[in-house]
Amino acid sequence: MADDIGFSNIVLNTNFNLEVARDYFSYQSLNQPLTDRFFSYLQEPIMTDKSKWFVYKLENGQEFGCFRIKPYNSPVCAAALRDLVVKKTIFKMSELKLAQEYMRIIAKHVVQDWENVAFLTPAGEVEGETPYSPENAYQLLMHSDPDMNLSGWIVEKAKGIV
Strands (E), the chain: 10-12, 45-47, 52-57, 63-69, 111-115
Identify the sign of the CA torsion 134, 111, 121, 98.
Answer: negative
User: Residues 93-119: pLDDT tens digits?
Assistant: 999 999 999 999 999 999 999 999 988
Assess contact for 160 and 112: CB atoms under 8 A: no
pLDDT at 134 over 70: yes
Distance CA 115, CA 130 (A): 8
Among candidates 83, 88, 109, which has minimal Cα distance to 98? 88
Distance CA 125, CA 139 (A): 17
Count CA atoms within 13 Å of residue 68 on its CB side.
Answer: 16
User: Residues 9-59: pLDDT tens digits?
Assistant: 333 333 333 343 344 344 444 444 444 544 444 444 444 678 999 999 988
Instruction: Specify the amino acid at residue 79.
Output: A
- Supply angle C-alpha 65, 134, 158, rounded to 5: 60
| Mean local confidence (pLDDT), 84-88 | 94
Residue 144: which pLDDT band, with cuts at 50, 70 and 90?
Answer: confident
Q: What is the DSSP letter of 132?
A: P
